Structure 1
């Protein structure tokens, strides 16, 4: 029963986000030949974003550690569902895997973002996609969406809400990939 409710919630968020993206005109151009694509076995699209902590974080190219990019918003029920798991996973994997939460600030309020981060005790960097440019580069369909990126800067997998056990399997596989 809980699983059915979760599936319905994800479906509702998917539809709502698709409508929002259509109205906002965020999906202006498809990925064309020669561009980086935000799917498995392609280079992660490069960007730099400022974060709640005042620092600027960059993605693109080789890294010291693998990276989990998690796109989310405060108004998203599945984002609230996975936030405690991500906080716990970050605490356990932070020495081996970087985690960046990317808030869709264009469709959110900064005060709500700060409250969400506090409520869920998120200690990994929370990047602010204020104009939606990074979301446009990654071309995901709904939130939350996470990209697992290896040390070479290649997207290895694109995932949505997972159980803690599923996350652990994926993170351990990402660590083995290099």
Structure 2
């Protein structure tokens, strides 16, 4: 419950900053033009603000190293033998629970051409809950622990789940905020593994 408050507080601060900037640029007059137009402009500005620091498709993935649940270190950055799906998640996240079976299926199906790393943002979670989640959903791929939220920040994470698709060349192909249907996820993975 506490972690939800922090996330909500952060989003409210960002929204307040966007509104402050918009009002400071004379956007107060937008209310005269209609409420819809003002809300649309504020929403667009918030989206732009949130995405401003995010790694973009076509750019190299930020480099990092993290330990998994067993203490083994995994490194990301630069060229790889296989494409990579980075899945940022938390055990209390309902959409993460919904997509977990699909991740397991895709990891098995594409194991020859795809690595899947489940990056638990442990700062917002509890290790016992992480271990239970992994056991309940049968994760067989590495579960990395982002204990200080440093890696999630590198990817400008704003919501769980966030999936980052990285090619064998180490270049980000796509950043997906929120879950996808199994069909849509597979279509993106086919494209990723065939490139």
TM-score tier after normalising by the smaller chain length: 0.7 to 0.9
Unaligned runs of 5+ in 1: 1-14, 24-29, 32-36
Match of 1:125 in 2: 142
Aligned: 1:106 with 2:123: yes
Structure (1/2) with the larger helix percentage: 2
Which of 165, 174, 177 is equivalent to 2:192? 174
How many residues align structurally?
154
Unaligned runs of 5+ in 2: 13-51
CA distance in 2: counterparts of 1:20 and 1:163, whole angstroms: 29
- Which consecutive aligned stretches of 4+ in structure 1 deviate over 2 angstroms post-superposition? 15-23
> What does 1:7-46 align with in structure 2 at a 5 Å threshold?
18-19=7-8, 21=10, 31=53, 37-46=54-63
Which of 51, 55, 59 is equivalent to 2:76? 59
Give the TM-score of the pair, scaled to structure 1.
0.80
Change (3 A) 1:16 1:63: farther
1:16 shift after superposition: 6.1
Say which SS state the counterpart of residue 96 (structure 2) adopts: helix
Aligned: 1:87 with 2:76: no
Aligned: 1:116 with 2:116: no
CA distance in 1: counterparts of 2:194 and 2:152, whole angstroms: 28
Aligned: 1:145 with 2:134: no
Give the TM-score of the pair, scaled to structure 2.
0.73
1:18 shift after superposition: 3.8
Change (3 A) 1:164 1:107: same
Tell me which of the two structures has the higher relative contact order, counting C-alpha pairs closer than 8 angstroms and 6 or more residues apart: 1
Which of 154, 157, 177 is equivalent to 2:171? 154
When the two chains are superposed, the root-mean-square deviation of aligned CA atoms in Å is 2.2
Aligned: 1:77 with 2:66: no
Is residue 67–residue 99 contact of structure 1 (8 Å, CA) maintained in 2?
A: yes
